[in-house]
Amino acid sequence: MTVLDKSAQLTRKDRGRHADRLFWALCVSAGFAVLVILALILVTMVKQAYPAFSAEFFTSSTWIPNDPDGDGPAKPVYGTLAFLYGTLVVSAIAVIVAVPVSVGIALFLTELAPRRIRTAIVTLIDLLAAVPSVVFGLWGILVVAPAMVPVYQWIHDVLGGVPLLGSLFGEPRSSGRSFMTAGLILAIMIVPIITSIAREVFATVPDSDKQAAWALGATRWEMIKGAVLPHSFGGVVGAVILGLGRAMGETIAVALVIGSSVQITANLFESGYALPAIIVDQWGESTGVFTAALIGMGVVLFVITVLVNLVARFVVRRAEIRMRGAAA
């Protein structure tokens, strides 16, 4: 029997071991950075915004950020209800417009389009996602808003007399900067997100389900209705919620086209305000409690978007688990 070469020691403990631990520690701390940043966001911002939090912060729609009469009896009022309302209205419009469009595109891409066209369209949709939001805002304020005024006027003339719809489609602003314009611009911006997630969801529909539908003599639409849609409903809901989250946090485009007036009105053609928009608009001129109020609105926005995102992930994950179960 030959003696093993002692130089081939496979359990060397001295070198490399420390490097291994160090590298592991580096990676873990990088991973922790995410958790730390998220926690810091909440803690530092709440601390800074604390002076502004009061009952009226959440219940009043009056926004008088600067002391109206110096040392007089009147005090500044920081009520954020109008901004919350604007954010909700604008993102609701965006989601209502964007969802059918995105689901349509996703279906077109997964079920209808030939392979070569598919890559081209995916590239175009990616391009739409790549356009910076401030460019959409610039285009919205200088091109879209003025161009939409006659359209709004026409809709108002046609539907203005109808009882319930009439209050939604009231007299339009002459500048065209309104809830509706902001909602439409936002819709364009969230279409790529919803489309890409919906596409992933549709792609997970098992082929056997589709083939079963074909074998029963279904037309393409009947196949989609019977096999694709029921299977992917949960996932699409998740995609929509994610789009909603993005719409609520979108700042610059909305700040430019919403028209910047603090009011709560049912008229979608009137100008309004949104939570993120007021933060960038009035940031430069704010001091003291005024700044705290703006940061406070940031906290509200943060909490809302985090909740919306968590719910969306939860829905998507549950849908995925269900789908995997069905495919097995």
Q: Which is nearer to another protein, 73 or 217 (CB)?
A: 217
Q: According to CB under 8 A, which one of 64, 88, 159, 280 is a site residue for another protein?
A: 280
CB-CB contact of 182 with 250 (8 Å): no
Stretch touching another protein by CB under 8 A, among 73-81, 156-164, 165-173, 290-298: 290-298
Residue 214 to residues 37, 38, 202, 209, 296: CA-CA distances in angstroms?
Answer: 51, 49, 17, 9, 55
Smallest distance, another protein to C-beta of residue 325, A: 19
For another protein, what does the binding mask look like between residues 199 and 228, x meaning CB under 8 A? ------------------x-xxxx-x----
Written as six digits, the tokens of 140 are 């919205």
3-state secondary structure of 75: coil
> Among residues 8 and 164, whose Cβ is nearest to another protein?
8
Question: Does residue 100 bind another protein (CB under 8 A)?
Answer: yes
For 61, other C-beta atoms within 10 Å of its C-beta total: 16
Main-chain dihedrals φ then ψ at residue 203, nearest 5 degrees? -70, -20
Question: Which stretch in 16-24, 57-65, 75-83, 163-171 sits in contact with another protein by CB under 8 A?
Answer: 16-24
With respect to another protein, which residue has the nearer C-beta, 143 or 203?
Answer: 143
CA-based nearest residue to 198, from 144, 147, 242:
242
Q: Which helix (H) or strand (E) holds 78?
A: strand 77-78
β-sheet bridge partners, residue 283:
none
Per CB under 8 A, contacts with another protein among 146-185 are none
Q: Encoding tokens for residue 122? A: 């995916």
Region at 106 (left for phi over 0; alpha for psi -120 to 50; beta for the rest) = alpha
> CB-wise, 170 or 298, nearer to another protein?
298
Contact call for residue 302 and another protein (CB under 8 A): yes
Residues in region 113-152 near another protein by CB under 8 A: 121, 123-128, 130-139, 141-143
One residue of 50, 154, 233, 283 binding another protein per CB under 8 A = 283
Size of the site for another protein (CB under 8 A): 88
d(CA 296, CA 80): 10
Interface with another protein (CB under 8 A), residue from 209, 309, 320, 322: 309
At 90 the three-state DSSP class reads: helix
Exactly one of 51, 298, 320, 322 binds another protein (CB under 8 A); that residue is 298
Q: At how many degrees (to 10) do helices 288-327 and 275-282 cross?
A: 140
- Residue with the two structure tokens 């729609």: 61
Q: How far is the CB of 236 from another protein (least distance, A)?
A: 14
Nearest distance, CB of residue 127 and another protein, angstroms: 6
Q: Residue 45, interface with another protein (CB under 8 A)?
A: yes
